[in-house]
Amino acid sequence: MPRRKKEDLPQEEVKVIKTPPLVKGMRDILPNEEKYWDFVEEQIRRIVSDYSFRRIATPILEKFELFNHTLYKQSGIAEKELFYFIDKGEKLALRPEATAAVARAYLEHNLNNQTPPLKVYYQGPMFRQVKGDSEKLRQFTMAGFEIIGDKNPALDAECIIIAYFLMQRLKLAVDVKLNSVGCQVCRPEYAKALFGYLKTKRAMICPDCKKRTVKDAIKFNICKNPKCVKAREDAPQMMDWLCDDCRNHLFKVLEYLDELKIPYQLDPSLLRTYDYYNRTVFEVFPANRQADEELLTLASGGRYDTLIQMIGGNPTPATGFSIGLERLINMMKLTRAEIPAHPSLDVFVAQISELARQKTFAFFEALRAENFSIRANLSKSNLKGQLELAAKYNSKIVLILGQKEVLEGTVIMRDMESGNQEVVNMARVVIEVKKKLKEKMIKALKDS
């Protein structure tokens, strides 16, 4: 019986659906954005190394209670922005930020037994609900730095200095705003004075502030309603109500910044989203904004000496800050920040036959083991296309394997700068490549 042709065989039915769109508030990071992410993460790694931070990673799921604490209730995060669900009777939440999670890990793993201060950094996705048609992301990537166990104002300054110079490394011009929100001693006295002032100005402030300032008068300072902005002109300011300890702490922070000539602006209206902050708070914004342009925070943070105590630990001073990477990268694109080109590649491996492709895997790994920076594209067999890729990667040397070379145990070594080629015995490839790279390095030093 003759064999049936392939086209005559019954074909498996493929069920087709309409491609589901991306979930609103989420985003894909595409390959053409790689250079931005790599550059930002490289600069963060340098900061981490230079300032002796150590990595910490907490899960994206935490107990709901960690974020349903009074501190979050006051800011409205728990009710309005938290993603939470019940799994087998357990109420869980996607973390909206990482500072509380780091504090939980600090207590749960007895990290207080280490010599203070504990300096840790993290990077990962955070999750927040957003209203209606808001363009804000529901999932976003944050990198953060936390310093736990020391109340020295130098550490507040260190956080601001790191944030400022990180932005400089990312080619972003920024402004720094900072404030002191006082402590448990002086903040209640200020809130009382501000509430007394607002009672005399009820006709001048917005309806929202009339309601919320009954519970927390200090929230009046962040209202953007023009009526409230106008009413704030004569309002009491936190700076005038700081206790001696808070005032001295702030002045010390400013002295450190002045020593490095870091430009900053004291902003009495500056608060933080979360209510666990005390004393120093700061935010970093793009410079050269239009007067009516909404402030876009690139980095923010401050001191939070009571957070660890409030979730069950002993009183523990701490300070830190975080940056939103998507927002940072969008600003780099908007300002056309120049991303340095990747360093030159040492070796590109090209192959031009099926037999050569089979041998290239082992050949590639042997070269990689010698710590050369190396690339190949095993899906291509056209030499011209592979040489174009080698040029794109700015490779110094191309090693070419064909069927003839495999059978003879040789490889063609091509100098991409001069175009010169030579046949090298496979057993001597590593030696010859090192020799060639050394010659190029010496030449570059002489030319410079």
Q: What is the pLDDT of residue 292?
A: 45
Using DSSP bridges, classify how beta strands 374-376 and 345-351 pair: parallel, antiparallel or unpaired. Answer: parallel
Q: What is the pLDDT of residue 295?
A: 61
Q: What is the pLDDT of residue 283?
A: 92
Give the integer Cα–Cα distance in Å for 312 and 293.
42
Give the integer Cα–Cα distance in Å for 38 and 42.
6
Give the integer Cα–Cα distance in Å for 235 and 242.
15
Q: What is the pLDDT of residue 178?
A: 92
**Residues whose CB is less than 8 angstroms from the CB of residue 434 and which lie 6 or more positions away in sequence, other chains included:** 370
User: What structural domains and CATH numbers belong to the chain?
Assistant: 31-186+242-334 (3.30.930.10), 345-442 (3.40.50.800)
- Specify which residues 90 forms β-bridges with: 87
Sites in the chain below the pLDDT cut of 50: 292-293
pLDDT tens digit sequence for 211-241: 776 677 777 777 777 877 887 778 888 888 8
| Residue carrying structure tokens 């990537």 | 141
Q: What is the pLDDT of residue 5?
A: 62
SS3 state at 324: strand
pLDDT tens digit sequence for 294-305: 568 899 999 999
Q: What is the pLDDT of residue 274?
A: 61
Q: What is the pLDDT of residue 115?
A: 85
The structure's pTM equals 0.82
What are residue 73's phi and psi, to 5 degrees?
Answer: -60, -40
DSSP state of 89: T
